[in-house]
């Protein structure tokens, strides 16, 4: 298991984590989220002028290149890093969509799925057709539990 500490009040940066959820514990000015590191998990870091996403997996599943970041209790491997506001927003929008559609089952897909998903978001190819085709390629039995409207921003500042 991997634990991420999320400070409630920090003026410099914000952090959020997603993955196969195990538990949540709130104490004083921080929340501790525990995720199952046998599956990929995602760390979102948002600074005033910069945003970064780390798509990660536990060290037992992904190899020898280990990293550690602020507010994370142990080392892990990084699958992909998305930098900048556009990639951050694209990936976050895709994960919100997939979480709603699959009710969290998307996090049980293999590491290579998330690597390809990150690539689609980096290149701006993250439309609903590409996302659903990629998801079905990795698990054709995955059930879309409810109808969710795909949100695609039409402005040039995407």
Domain ranges of the chain: 2-138
- Count CB atoms within 10 A of the CB of residue 22: 13
The pairing of beta strand 41-47 with beta strand 30-35: unpaired
This prediction has a pTM of 0.82
- Count CB atoms within 10 A of the CB of residue 122: 18
Residues in the chain with pLDDT values less than 70: 10-11, 61, 63, 140-158
Q: What is the pLDDT of residues 78-89, one digit of tens each?
A: 888 899 888 888
């Amino acid at each position: 298991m991997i634990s991420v500490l999320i400070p409630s009040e920090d003026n410099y940066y914000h952090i959020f984590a997603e993955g196969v959820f195990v538990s949540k514990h709130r104490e004083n000015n921080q929340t501790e989220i525990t995720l199952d590191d046998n599956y990929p998990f995602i760390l979102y870091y948002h600074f005033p002028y910069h945003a970064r996403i780390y798509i990660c997996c536990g060290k037992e599943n992904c190899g020898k290149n280990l990293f550690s970041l602020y507010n994370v209790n142990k080392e892990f491997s990084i699958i992909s890093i998305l930098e900048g506001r556009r990639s951050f927003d694209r990936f976050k929008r895709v994960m919100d969509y997939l979480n709603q559609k699959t009710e969290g089952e998307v996090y049980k897909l293999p590491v290579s799925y998330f690597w390809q998903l990150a690539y689609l978001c980096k290149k701006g190819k993250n439309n609903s057709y590409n996302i659903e085709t990629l998801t079905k390629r990795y698990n054709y039995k995955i059930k879309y539990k409810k109808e969710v409207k795909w949100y695609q921003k039409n402005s040039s500042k995407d």
